[in-house]
Structure 1
Amino acid sequence: MHKTKTVTILTLDGAAATGKSTTAHALADALNYLHIDTGSHFRILSYHLNQVSIPSQASTNLSEALKELSLNTKIYGHSAVLEVNRQRLTSTELRSLTVNTLVSQYAALKPIRDFLLNYQRSLEHFAREAHFEGMVVEGRDIGSVVFPRAKHKVFLYADESTRIARRQKEGLKDFISERDAIDRTRTLAPLTCPKDALSINTTQLSLDEVVDLILKKITD
């Protein structure tokens, strides 16, 4: 009997502007793994739901609206990119002030989390079919909820002033404190450090230093 090939999963959790995305991209390149940004999934849905005037609070119309969305995955380099209704959003659209304001509110809704959880877990099969030996999955609940049995788990954090400065340097307005409060206190899949994760304070560390720490840990 042919044995299904195992995909090694590295989860990377943390709050906004802790360095998740740059670190995840660098790790995927170094390991030749598939990169998956689950935060972008919530941003994409927030954008589309806002476009059709579905409120970011619990709504009887939400489940019906989700049924109208078709999900498709494309690979660009090492990254798996979610397209909704065959549309790929730009970085500007994903990180607009409107999406930054709404994303944590939409992400707290159970129908949205359930909808995306099924999709995100299916990406393990997608990575296998695309002949990747592993994947780096970044988000806020990846090691605790999406892939709790992942082989490697990392949690990044940094002080709030540093994170705000990073967003400002990128030319973006983000609501760090407000999003932190929503993400950490929501009932469903709150932002938390998995108990078995490598926890790294990125406040004073360069990207290379963070990546080296993680690579050393997972290759020991």
Structure 2
Amino acid sequence: MSAQSDRIADLIEARPLVIAVDGPSGSGKSSVSREVARRLGLEYLDTGAMYRAATWSVVESGIDLADAPAVAGHVAGFDLTMATDPSAPGAWVAGHDVNAAIRETRISTIVSKVATNLDVRANMLKRQRDLIAAAAAGPHAGVVAEGRDITTVVAPDADVRILLTASEAARLARRAKELHGTADAASVEATRDQIVRRDSDDSTVSNFEVAADGVLHLDSSALDFEQTVDAVLTAIARTVTGTGSVADLDENARAGAVS
């Protein structure tokens, strides 16, 4: 564990810590949030997986995605269990392991149709807040929650709120490597719809590209995975110790230094 991880861990012993991470597709928020949670001994909540699981359940039930009331009605009653251990996170629908299925292209290309349903979002908002509250009150005394609207709608009172962004080119390259193992031109183009179109659709009901007041902005375009994790840990340390203002991270913070 790094020096700043130790520093934050000491504070967690004194009180629960809720960390909210928002950002567009491919910004690294899921992988970075999960690693930050692991290093700090906190729980990890992937709210995007919740929407994917809802979408999978709707599709498996044969409901027409264009029938908004039917979709919302189904999601309101579907049985969803989320595992929040950062070493083994996951989603189960009615006891069925859907972790692989919800990452398939067939779900990725349609999840926005469910996620932009306002009644679905209201239902998921309550579920997410309940999970965050349970994690804060649980044995690990905190959670790193990531996804759309986390910093502004789901957990606006989180102890630390971070908007993690990256350029479109960086996000496309990262997702192409994740899905296709390479970031060549063909792979990037094959990935474009999942990134650009999905962000465009989701932006109609969610603001995840501009940091709201009190939300710290981190652009990870020029950072690798470890540098981004270090920068997020730095931001957390600065915020919970009161040693830095809530503003865009400077070059020292990007290098992992804590003032």
What residue number does 2:187 align with? none
Question: How much has 1:137 moved relative to structure 2?
Answer: 0.4
Contact 1:28 1:78 (C-alpha < 8 Å) held by counterparts: no
Amino acid at match of 2:201: I
- What do residues 181-202 of structure 1 show as CA deviations (whole Å, max 9, x unaligned)? 1122x1x333343321221111
Contact 2:44 2:84 (C-alpha < 8 Å) held by counterparts: no
Contact 1:57 1:106 (C-alpha < 8 Å) held by counterparts: no
CA distance, structure 2, for counterparts of residue 178 and residue 86 of structure 1: 32
> Does the residue aligned with 2:96 lie in a helix, a strand or coil?
coil
Distance 1:182 1:75, change over 3 A: closer
What residue number does 1:143 align with? 151
- What do residues 123-178 of structure 1 show as CA deviations (whole Å, max 9, x unaligned)? 13321453112110010100100001111011111111221111111125542111
Distance 1:66 1:214, change over 3 A: closer
16-25 vs 80-89, which deviates more?
Answer: 80-89
What residue number does 1:204 align with? 222
Structure 1: gaps spanning 5 or more residues: none
Q: Are 1:99 and 2:107 matched, yes or no?
A: yes
CA distance, structure 2, for counterparts of residue 179 and residue 70 of structure 1: 25
What residue number does 2:18 align with? 9
TM-score, structure 2 length as denominator? 0.75
What residue number does 1:33 align with? 42
64-73 vs 175-184, which deviates more?
Answer: 64-73
What residue number does 1:190 align with? 207
Q: Are 1:154 and 2:162 matched, yes or no?
A: yes
Question: How much has 1:217 moved relative to structure 2?
Answer: 2.2
CA distance, structure 1, for counterparts of residue 202 and residue 208 of structure 2: 5
What residue number does 1:179 align with? 198
Amino acid at match of 2:48: G
CA distance, structure 2, for counterparts of residue 211 and residue 177 of structure 1: 24
* Aligned mate of 1:166, from 165, 174, 193: 174
Structure 2: gaps spanning 5 or more residues: 1-13, 181-189, 239-259
What residue number does 2:57 align with? 48
Matched-pair identity in %: 26
Contact 2:80 2:94 (C-alpha < 8 Å) held by counterparts: yes
> Does the residue aligned with 1:116 lie in a helix, a strand or coil?
helix
Question: How much has 1:67 moved relative to structure 2?
Answer: 4.4
- What do residues 45-97 of structure 1 show as CA deviations (whole Å, max 9, x unaligned)? 11111122223334332243224412223344555533221112133x12211
30-39 vs 210-219, which deviates more?
Answer: 210-219
Question: How much has 1:120 moved relative to structure 2?
Answer: 0.4
Question: How much has 1:6 moved relative to structure 2?
Answer: 5.3
> Does the residue aligned with 2:97 lie in a helix, a strand or coil?
coil
What residue number does 1:219 align with? 237
Contact 2:136 2:143 (C-alpha < 8 Å) held by counterparts: no
Structure ID, larger Rg: 2
Amino acid at match of 2:155: F
Contact 1:58 1:109 (C-alpha < 8 Å) held by counterparts: no
191-200 vs 110-119, which deviates more?
Answer: 191-200
> Does the residue aligned with 2:91 lie in a helix, a strand or coil?
strand
Amino acid at match of 2:19: L
Task: Supply the RMSD in Å over aligned alpha carbons.
Answer: 2.0
What residue number does 2:245 align with? none
Distance 1:83 1:217, change over 3 A: same
